[in-house]
Amino acid sequence: MSRWGEQLDLLIRSRTPILWIHQQEEERLIRLLGNACQRLGQRTLLRWDFVGGLQGLPNHQGHGARQPLVALDSLDLLAGEQPAILLLLDFHRYVEDPAICRRLRNLASELRQKPHTLVISAPDAKLPRELESSITVLPLPLPSESEIQELLAGIAQAAGSQLSGDALELLVSSCRGLSEQRIRQLAARALARHGCLDAADLDDVLEEKRLALGRSDLLEYCPTAADPSEIGGLNQLKTWLDRRRLAFSAEAHAYGLPHPRGVLLVGPQGTGKSLTAKAIAHSWGMPLLRLDLGRLFAGLVGASEARTRDMIGTAEAMAPCILWIDEIDKGFSLDGRSDGGTGQRVLATLLTWMAEKDTPVFVMATANAIDQLPPELLRKGRFDEIFVLDLPDGSERREILELHLRKRRPQHQLPLDTLVDRTSGFSGAELEQVVLEGMLNAFSESREFGEADLISAAADLVPLSRTAREQLEVLQQWASEGRARPAR
């Protein structure tokens, strides 16, 4: 039995009169309540909806149809002291009615003396203020890993399909964050397509997660085909990240290793921070969720903190995943007075979660200016490590140029020594722009591009190392003090 089931049983046994269960899976809720009725001594499960009325009492089928107030008296139809659970579907639509609100408050007192429980199904946890002290809110979480494993194994067995242990573990991990109904639909499509469930269905799972996130305005699903081999240099960072991937496995958990927390990448624009996030997500086979910090901030007092908690809940439901917080230095003000302290409260909520989370959500944050980051963000325990991505040196510039040239001219034989020397202080993004500008100049003259075109393009480009020299010096001075690890 799940932890949620144990909590439900405890609330029913302690005669909690009214439960408000917010969920999006009606069939699953009905089944879970039916299981609870059997565990707790053959209680009767009744349910009511506006169209069909009461269901579960043979002599009173349809009682109270289209009469929400009458539905609240359905428990009186039971004979004797037979314990029962009455589930009211979609009843959140009627609780604002004064008569229904008053009747619910009366029932909250009456049911404490009876072995009955009233359950209201709702899509969210929003209660009328006068009912907050009378009703207990119990959110129904998405299926746990053990529930998903049992569901997938049962579907495979019923279809006569063999599902290997490795494939089952991979599918269970990937299906986290999806509702039971969505998982059943994915399994049905897989069985209809090739008659079995296996690891080949992972793409369908990721696509389903992308569609689920499309219904949220807090996180953006970022599909990516980038690969770590497309990143020039940054060898220490790539090695560190490759080792962290192993820590998400079941073997690492059995070994006693916790899930990795995340990493903070600090460096000038164009040094590969965003590309690293995309490449690692693709390499690890995890969905990449991009958080725009501006979406967290709402006008009402307390709304920003609530949106932050919703974002955290969504990310944890999609785990294992990578949560990419781009340009985190621009999202939080060092002076909390400028926004009434909202930014500091949102940051505190985020940092507390990062320090205490035990779900496989890997936080990859990027920042351009170290002097704009709040000190508490840099404290140990928030991230596993902080890396500084400096401007590439000569060997890294050559590697980056080779990557971009091979992508566009796989058989190129261009000499690069002069170009490497003349691009000192260029970022990776600026080196890519040099290649594109040189190709464009040659294309406009209807000829193949060569070394001279690249050198000319480099001479015309003014790099960030000149236009933002002071900011780079601050970052390099901070990094030289040993406060972060070099990425190269």
Percent of the chain with pLDDT over 70: 97
Q: In this model, does residue 156 exceed pLDDT 70?
A: yes
pLDDT digits (tens, 9 = 90+) for 302-323: 678 888 988 898 888 888 899 9
Amino acid at 235: N
Q: Where are the alpha helices (DSSP H) in 358-468?
A: 394-408, 417-422, 428-444, 451-460, 464-467
Task: Quote the pLDDT of residue 423.
Answer: 96
141 close to 5: Cβ distance less than 8 angstroms: no
268 close to 469: Cβ distance less than 8 angstroms: no
304 close to 345: Cβ distance less than 8 angstroms: yes
Read off φ and ψ for residue 285, nearest 5 degrees. Answer: 70, 35
CA-closest candidate to residue 7, choices 27, 21, 26: 21
As separate numbers, helices (DSSP H) first and strands (DSSP E) second, the chain gives 19, 13
CA distances to 95, 98, 134, 305, 363 from 128, rounded to whole Å, are 7, 11, 10, 20, 36
This prediction's pTM:
0.78
- Pick the more confident residue, 339 or 52: 52
328 close to 373: Cβ distance less than 8 angstroms: yes
- As given in the structure block, the two tokens for residue 347 are 């940051």
pLDDT digits (tens, 9 = 90+) for 183-239: 999 999 888 888 888 877 877 887 787 777 776 778 888 888 888 888 888 999 999
Q: In this model, does residue 464 exceed pLDDT 80?
A: yes
Q: How many C-beta atoms lie closer than 10 Å to residue 313's C-beta?
A: 15
Q: pLDDT tier at 332 (50, 70, 90 boundaries)?
A: confident
d(CA 182, CA 177): 10
Q: pLDDT tier at 95 (50, 70, 90 boundaries)?
A: very high
Domains of the chain: 3-137 (3.40.50.300), 145-215 (1.10.8), 228-388 (3.40.50.300), 394-467 (1.10.8.60)
CA 73 to the chain's CA centroid:
42
Task: Quote the pLDDT of residue 234.
Answer: 92
d(CA 384, CA 259): 10
- As given in the structure block, the two tokens for residue 309 are 């908690």
Specify the 3-state DSSP secondary structure of 47.
strand
